[in-house]
Amino acid sequence: MSGLRRHYTDAHTYLPDQASVAWIRTTDFDDLVRALGGDPAWVHPATWADVESAAWELADDEDRAVVLAARHGPWTVLLDAMCGRLTGLVKRLSASGEALALQWTVNYVATVAYARDGQVIGSFDPADLDTINPAAGRAWLSGLPVTQEEWRQGWQPAALALGEELSGVRLDQAWLAREHLCVPLGSAPPQVRPPSGFRVRDWLRPTLEGDPRLRAIAADPAPERQHEIIQLAIELARQAWPMSGDLERQALQAIADRVRDDRSAGTRARIDAAAADIRARIDATAAEIERQVSEERGPVQVPVVPDIDLMIRLSADPDMERLHRELRPLEILAQALDPDLNAAATQTSGLLTGKWIPPEASPVQAVLQQLAWYVATGEVDDE
């Protein structure tokens, strides 16, 4: 644990002066949102800076609040600008799994709490381990990969390292800067945004009006909608490509979870490497076909420009067809995982063209591309 703990010795420089953080393993994110007191329909992408600002604006509102949520596989990490909220909820949050929570005040008064399957295993002041309650939690505490000396030397690095040991998620400055999810809490929904000025070309209007998901995005083209545009683009792409390999499944899960973190970056890097290998095979196959055409033709006095024979052979070659079919889904998934959501949405939707896309999907692709551009720029592409 000491190696992990070293990663957090400077956590006080980038974490809030007071806050609570929780690591929750659960099978249902929507149930987790409801357990917090929120509505899954209100969840939207946001950075910690966005959530912290909103939290302080709502500090005097007894009926409303916001927390940051970041999904990492079966784990969800919550960060709340108000200390105390999450440690008091570990019993409820662990109903279908487990939950570890840490809170601290501006005076560095702290509490750590852990619950499993809806039962509190232990809650204690990390500066005084004898405070653990219930007393039966001593066995759990002594079994942790954190020594009494590590708790004494720095309870915050120790608790953050314990959270990483459980979840595999490192709460460093890069994590804090990334876009995650804002979870509004309370009985009132977020403020409704003003009506959209988005419009499409006349021939695409039936497509827009006939699809409830496209209509919803067009009515409220906020930045967080890029995730929905990416998801819709991937659904269209899967009509043409199965995307059934392990690497593809990892990418699809990250896209579905709306995650852009170190793990999704690693998946994207592996996809890029696989795509580069296929491109190399395409180049080698093209070179071989060009050699064959040159040998069949023999020496010529007048060069053929363009080389029609070569172009026909390249387009008709079954190996080239197969390689391009392998390449395109990798290109789409890699683009969809771009951490720049505007680029991910506009360019992923733009890749959905060509002979492999079903004809009935083309109008949907065109609307998606215009929506992505409008969300990114505020400009209507109606040319």
pLDDT bin (cut points 50, 70, 90) of residue 279 is very high
pLDDT over 70 at 304, yes or no:
no
CB atoms within 10 A of CB 313: 17
User: What percentage of the chain reaches a pLDDT higher than 90?
Assistant: 39
CB 23 within 8 A of CB 166: yes
Residue 193: what pLDDT?
45
323 contact partners, CB below 8 Å, separation of at least 6: 278, 281, 282, 285
pLDDT at 5 over 70: no
The first and second tokens of residue 271, run together, are: 């996809």
Higher pLDDT among residues 375 and 269, named by residue: 269
Q: Tell me what pLDDT residue 158 has.
A: 92
- Distance, first Cα to last Cα, the chain: 59
Q: What is the mean pLDDT of residues 162-191?
A: 86
Least confident of 121-130, 189-198, 256-265, 275-284: 189-198
Mean predicted lDDT score pLDDT of the chain: 85
Q: Is the pLDDT of residue 334 over 50?
A: yes
Give 38's DSSP letter: B
Mean pLDDT across the stretch 364-370? 90
Measured CA to CA in angstroms, residue 43 lies from 51, 152, 181, 374 at distances of 12, 38, 7, 21
Asked whether 250 and 275 are in contact (CB, 8 A), the reply is no
Lowest mean pLDDT among 125-139, 208-222, 252-266, 360-374: 208-222
- 299 or 134, which is more confident? 134
pLDDT band at 280 (very low <50, low <70, confident <90, very high): very high
> pTM of the prediction?
0.53
pLDDT at 192: 42
Question: Packing angle between helix 262-297 and helix 308-316, nearest 10 degrees?
Answer: 130
- Contact residues for 7 (Cβ-Cβ < 8 A; gap 6+): 157, 160, 161, 164, 170, 172
Alpha helices in the chain (DSSP H): 2-6, 29-36, 48-57, 90-93, 137-142, 148-153, 155-167, 173-177, 205-210, 212-219, 226-237, 246-257, 262-297, 308-316, 318-336, 341-350, 362-377
What is the signed CA dihedral for 175, 176, 181, 183, rounded to 10 degrees? 140
Please report the pLDDT score of residue 307 as a whole number. Answer: 64
User: Residues 329-348: what's their mean pLDDT?
Assistant: 92
Residue 120: pLDDT band (50, 70, 90) is very high
The per-residue pLDDT for 50 is 82
Report how far residue 93's alpha carbon sits from residue 109's, in angstroms, rounded to the nearest whole number.
23
What pLDDT does residue 71 have?
Answer: 92
Lowest mean pLDDT among 40-44, 305-309, 353-357: 305-309
Stretch 259-279: mean pLDDT, rounded? 92
Flag whether pLDDT at 108 surpasses 70: yes
Q: What is the mean pLDDT of residues 247-257?
A: 91
Model pLDDT, residue 3: 61
148 vs 227: CA distance, rounded Å: 44
Q: Select, from the ranges 43-57, 281-295, 360-374, the one with the highest average predicted confidence (pLDDT).
A: 360-374
For residue 164, pLDDT beyond 80? yes
